[in-house]
Structures are given as structure tokens and as C-alpha cells.
Amino acid sequence: MSDLQVVSLCKVFGGLRATDDVSFAIEAGTVNSIIGPNGAGKTTLLNLITGIYEPCSGDVRLGGRSLIGKPTHTRVGLGLGRTFQTPQICYNMSAVENVMLGSHLQLDSRLTPAALRRRSIVAADRECRQRAAYLMAYVGLDRYIGENPGAMPYGALKRLEIARALAGSPKLILLDEPAAGLGAPEKADLSELIAKLSASGVTTVLVEHDMKLVMSVSRHIVVLNYGKKLAEGAPEAVRDNPEVVAAYLGRAV
Ligand SMILES: Nc1ncnc2c1ncn2[C@@H]1O[C@H](COP(=O)(O)OP(=O)(O)OP(=O)(O)O)[C@@H](O)[C@H]1O
């Protein structure tokens, strides 16, 4: 069953077709990657899926429902989660509070009950904190729960974003260059975490330059070049596709 469907998606900046009639489907519960040389349109595509950009034409469907024109909180409510290329962290909050932010749609945010510290609000807050702590342990960050993110290494901040995205209970999580800036041991841990996410039923989509990681974790790969879909398929088929190799100018894929 397909979870995410991208249908004839287009985005034009001035005269530049950054996304040019791109269509593909992502199967529920699988790990997928979107790859392509610099400027191929990967980030634009991700921004179209998450609603940062509205497409000129085409559709994005999650679980059969169109996301076009829906605000970010509705997309999150429909099961979309994401991380950013550069971690977007609130440094005036503790690590666990950053993860709690990801649950805000599930909490009662009305002013009066919050100001009166109603028992239900206090209980929900405690539950939210416990779940955030659980998610931090899930991504391997239990030692940082009470820490300020400023004291955390870069690789841990990238995992903190994954925990925050998971706090929104996504059906599908988009990871924007999750391996960028990580060392080899951290990449190995990331690979394990991605496999764990997939095993738990979360559909995963990576936008990633690290081909070793992409080839080892992905079930399905979509290749973009100059805004168009150049190829898609299983890692071996994509790696052996002469057009893909040519697009990477001879770089080993
Ligand atoms: N907001 C924008 N305004 C104008 N042009 C843009 C904008 N965003 C992206 N582009 C252009 O669209 C094309 C695709 O860019 P995009 O960032 O999506 O590629 P990418 O595959 O993510 O590249 P990279 O791997 O370098 O991050 C590029 O030519 C880029 O200059």
C-alpha cells in the first residue's frame, strides 16, 4: 500500500523549473531515499511535501489525502514528521523540552486551564514529559535528558530532532540530510536507528548525499536531476543505471 504519493509535482522559481513533473509513490513502512546531484531539486521537493512551498501544479497525498493547501499543523496531524538539514533547536529549553515541543498538537493549549494549572493539564504535561524522555532513550539520547542542547554534540542534536519529530506520532518521517556532519560511528548508529524506525512501521524518506548510507538502508530510491525524476527503483538498479552514473559525472554511486 502506498503511503505517500507525489503526482506530477511542479515548482517554478522565475524561469527555473526546480521540480518538473515529478511523480512517485512511497510504500508504507519502508525506507526510501531521494538523491541527486547538487541543485537537482531535492530540498525543493521536500519543501513541497512539508508545505514550506506550494506547488505550481500537481498533488502530494499522504494516506490517500491531499496535503495541498493544508497548513503545517494539519500536515503534522495527518501523520507527517520531518527533521532539518541544520538542526532547528531551541537553546533556551532543555533537550527533553525540545522533544516535548513535537507533541504540542496533542496537548490542551487553552490559556485558562493552563493558567489555572488544572489537574488535567498537569497530568498531560507529566505524561508528555515522560513520553519525550522515552523517545530520547529510543533514539539513544537518554544521558542528555535534562541537558541544555548547547552542551550536546552535533550528532546528538540531529537525533534530538528525530525524537522531536517522533513526538508528533508520524506515519511518515522525512529526514533532510541526516548523515551530514556525522562521523563513521555516528553514521552506523543512524543506520541502526533508521532500521528500527522502519521496523516499528514508520515510513522513512531520506534526502541524503551519503551514498553508502543510502544504498545500505533504502528499499526504494528516487533520483532527481535538473528538477526531473531521472530514475527510481531498488538500490542495485539505481546504482547500475548509466543515466544515474552519468548525472553524478562518474562519481561512484
Ligand atoms: N527559493 C528559491 N528561489 C529561487 N531558486 C531556488 C530556490 N530554491 C531553490 N532554488 C533553485 O532550485 C534548484 C534546486 O535547488 P534545491 O535546493 O532544491 O536542490 P538540491 O538538490 O536540494 O541541492 P543540494 O544538494 O545542493 O542541497 C537550484 O537551481 C536552486 O538554485
ipTM computed for the complex: 0.97
Residues 185 and 235 placed together within one structural domain of the fold: yes
Last-in-domain residue among 169, 203, 220: 169
Last-in-domain residue among 169, 188, 210: 169
Residues 151 and 194 placed together within one structural domain of the fold: no
Distance between CA atoms of 108 and 123, rounded to whole angstroms?
11
Output the CA 40–ligand 1 centroid distance in Å. 7
Output the CA 184–ligand 1 centroid distance in Å. 28
Q: How many domains does the chain have?
A: 2
pLDDT band, very low/low/confident/very high, at 204 (cuts 50, 70, 90): very high
**DSSP assigned state of 185:** H
Strand order through the sheet with 2-13: 16-27, 2-13, 57-62, 65-66
Helix (H) or strand (E) holding 231: strand 228-233
Q: What is the pLDDT of residues 167-200, one digit of tens each?
A: 999 999 999 999 999 999 999 999 999 999 999 9
Residues 67 and 29 placed together within one structural domain of the fold: yes
Mutate to test the pocket of ligand 1, among 34, 35, 42, 54 (most ligand atoms within 8 A of CB): 42
> Domain range spanning residue 50?
1-79+170-252
Residues 10 and 71 placed together within one structural domain of the fold: yes
The C-alpha cell that represents 66 in the structure block: 491531499
Find all residues with CB under 8 Å of 217, minimum gap 6, and list them.
31, 33, 191, 194, 195, 206
Strand partners, 16: 13
CATH number at residue 225: 3.40.50.300
pLDDT band, very low/low/confident/very high, at 120 (cuts 50, 70, 90): confident
**DSSP assigned state of 40:** S
- 86 lies in some domain: no
Residues 182 and 245 placed together within one structural domain of the fold: yes
Distance between CA atoms of 155 and 180, rounded to whole angstroms?
9
Statement: the pTM of the whole predicted model exceeds 0.80: yes
Smallest CA separation from ligand 1 atom 3, residue? 13
Pocket, ligand 1, Cβ cutoff 6 A:
13, 16, 18, 36, 38-44
Last-in-domain residue among 169, 195, 210: 169
The mean predicted confidence, pLDDT, of the chain is 92
